[in-house]
Structures are given as structure tokens and as C-alpha cells.
Amino acid sequence: MKKRLVTFTMILMVLLMVLPSAFAKGATDDGGSKKMTVGFAQIKEDSPWRTTETNSVQQEAERLGIVLKLSVTDQAGQVAAIRDFITQKVDGILLAPQTRSGWDEVLQEAKNAGIPVVLLDRGVDAPESLWVTQISSDFAFEGREAAKWVAKKLDGKGKVVELFGDPAADPAILRNSGFMEVIDTYPGIEVVESKTGEWSQDKGRQVVEAWLAAGVDFDVVYAHNDGMALGAVEAMKSAGLTPGKDALIISIDAIKAAFEAIGRGDMNATVECSPLLGPLGFKSLIAATKGEPVDKYIITPDSLYDQDNYKNHPTMGF
Ligand code: GYE
């Protein structure tokens, strides 16, 4: 009898240990607290900025217990990924649009399926009714800030070469127009060359190498992102020049490698552009799925960092 009691007590104890976790699992697997699923159509691009942005999205998804479906491709692949997300009936979509145009049809399909789309880090020319919000920097502001710094350092007179991002991409278009808006007010400053480095360090290096080989004379390199500016640093060094002195180098993004280059004196300035957009992205998407209002444009604040103030950046770059 005593033995039976001991066995019974043991079985009861084991059951008590196992049951709560069984209930917890049931609660997440079954209805009620079903996990939200979000698709993220990211651009395939060889830049540390973009990797940091992807990490920001992944970390926030994890923190919130959201199931994230990540696709990293070119624009055609992004369109296909969105269609795939729609078929999988995701609850929301984050899209970092490679270029400005070509989105109307697929965004309409998402809207027809009742799936909200939040634009991360770049804008599109599709109607505002097809997307919830654009979360990004003010790219024209970044261009103007860079130009003001250049005009001051050149004292209103000198030659600039511009390393363009993708000419069809929203930030490249606006970083050029914002920059020119200010430069055009200085008759002594001339942009002597402007060419795409496709956002890449290696392409940026090749473009500047070609300019140097062709004997192009310049006082400033203005690059639409830090990666291309670091390519310009390499090109100048291999031509026996001293970047940061023989020509000033300014760009946009504020990645850690640019801060290090500023510290060494290879680069002179960078305008911050935050890639840490995961938290705002999910906040907006969650609000949209609940039918709550979301601002059409959520602009993250930026400031310029140069040799005088780069140590003030809270993380010394992204
Ligand atoms: O500046 C650049 C990236 O869209 C804001 O894209 C983003 C830009 C960023 O390639 O490094």
C-alpha cells in the first residue's frame, strides 16, 4: 500500500512538472495569441549600412516575438518576394524599395489582400494610398548639409567630384538635388564630374581611379554613401595622394568604418543616416494592422559629423 502511494505521488509530481509547459505551448500554437508574421523585402546590396538595417529588423522581430520572413534580392526579386508574402498570407510587409518606380502593381495587390506595407529607408513614386508610411531620413536635407560644409571648407571656390548612388534610387536622387540646391548659390564651386559608384566601395574606388588616371583635378569628393567614399580613399592612396588633405572627402551614412577613417584623417565628414529602423518599422506595421492612424512620413533626425565633433556620436557610427 505504502509503495503504491509513493508511485502515485511520483506520477503526480511528474505530471505537475510537465503540464504547465504543455499549456503554455498550447496557448501559443492555438488561436488567440497566434504570432504575427511579417515579410521583409530587403535590397541585396554589399554595404555595411544595409546589414545593420537588416540586423535591426531581425532583432526587433525577435524581441517582439514576431515571425520574420526575410528576402534579400534585387528589385525584380523584391516584387516576386512580395507576391510570395501575399500568397503566404503574412500580416504585414516591410519593403526597402531598390528604386523609386515600378511598385504600383504589386503594392495594389498587397492592398487588395488587405496586407499593410511599410516603406523602410527609401521612397517610391507609387500613390500614397498604396502604402502605410515611409520611414527614412530626409535625403535632400542630408545633401544640403553636405553642401554647406563643402562651401565653408572651400571658402566658396573649388572643384567637386560626385560619387552618385543608384541614379534611380530615391536617396541618390535627393542627395544630389539637395546638394546642388546649395552649391548652385556658390558660382565659384563647380561639380566637374558626377558618376554612379552603385553604392559600393569597390565601384567607388574604380570610378575615382578612372578620374585620376584621366587627370581630373578636384578638391572635394562628395559620395552619396560612406562605402563609396572609402573606395575613393583607396583610389587616392594607390595614386600616391593623401585622402583628407589632397582632396576633402565627405559622404553620408555614418557607418563605423567612416568614423574610423575620420579618426585617421582619411575622410573628413559624414552626414548621419540611421539604419536602425526596425523598432519604428514594426511599431507602424502593428498600428496599421489594428487600424490605428500612422503618420505618412516618419523622418529620422540626422546631423553632420566631422573631425571636430565625431567623438560626440553616441556609438561612434553604426
Ligand atoms: O545611405 C546607403 C544604402 O537607402 C538610405 O542605401 C539608404 C541608402 C544608404 O545603400 O548606404
Write the pLDDT tens digit of every residue in 11-48: 444 444 433 333 233 334 444 568 999 999 999 998 89
207-211 long-range CB contacts below 8 Å, 24 or more apart?
207/163, 207/231, 207/235, 208/161, 208/163, 208/232, 208/235, 208/236, 209/235, 209/238, 209/239, 211/161
Q: Whose CA is nearest to atom 5 of ligand 1?
A: 121
User: Cα of 218 to ligand 1 centre, how many Å?
Assistant: 25
Per-residue pLDDT tens digits for 79-108 = 999 999 999 999 999 999 999 999 999 999
Question: Closest ligand 1 atom, CA of 165?
Answer: 10
Domains of the chain: 37-136+275-300 (3.40.50.2300), 139-273 (3.40.50.2300)
Whole-model pTM: value is: 0.89
Question: Closest ligand 1 atom, CA of 169?
Answer: 4
**CB of 171 shorter than 6 A to ligand 1:** yes
**CB of 75 shorter than 6 A to ligand 1:** no
User: Cα of 207 to ligand 1 centre, how many Å?
Assistant: 19
User: Cα of 21 to ligand 1 centre, how many Å?
Assistant: 44
Please choose from 42, 44, 50 the residue to mutate so as to test ligand 1's pocket, defined by most ligand atoms within 8 A of CB: 50
Q: Are 92 and 60 in contact (CB under 8 A)?
A: no
177 Cβ contact partners less than 8 Å away, ≥ 6 residues apart: 140, 143
Q: Are 66 and 36 in contact (CB under 8 A)?
A: yes
**CB of 121 shorter than 6 A to ligand 1:** yes
Question: Closest ligand 1 atom, CA of 53?
Answer: 7
User: Cα of 108 to ligand 1 centre, how many Å?
Assistant: 25
At residue 34, the pLDDT reads 84
Per-residue pLDDT tens digits for 189-231 = 999 999 999 999 999 999 999 999 999 999 999 999 999 999 9
**CB of 38 shorter than 6 A to ligand 1:** no
Taking the C-alpha atoms of residue 310 and residue 101, their distance in angstroms, rounded to an integer, is: 36
Q: Which residue has the cell 583628407?
A: 244
User: Cα of 68 to ligand 1 centre, how many Å?
Assistant: 22
Average pLDDT, the chain: 92
**CB of 50 shorter than 6 A to ligand 1:** yes
**CB of 199 shorter than 6 A to ligand 1:** yes
52 Cβ contact partners less than 8 Å away, ≥ 6 residues apart: 255, 275, 276, 318
Taking the C-alpha atoms of residue 297 and residue 129, their distance in angstroms, rounded to an integer, is: 13
User: Cα of 153 to ligand 1 centre, how many Å?
Assistant: 25
Sign of CA dihedral 175, 180, 186, 190: positive
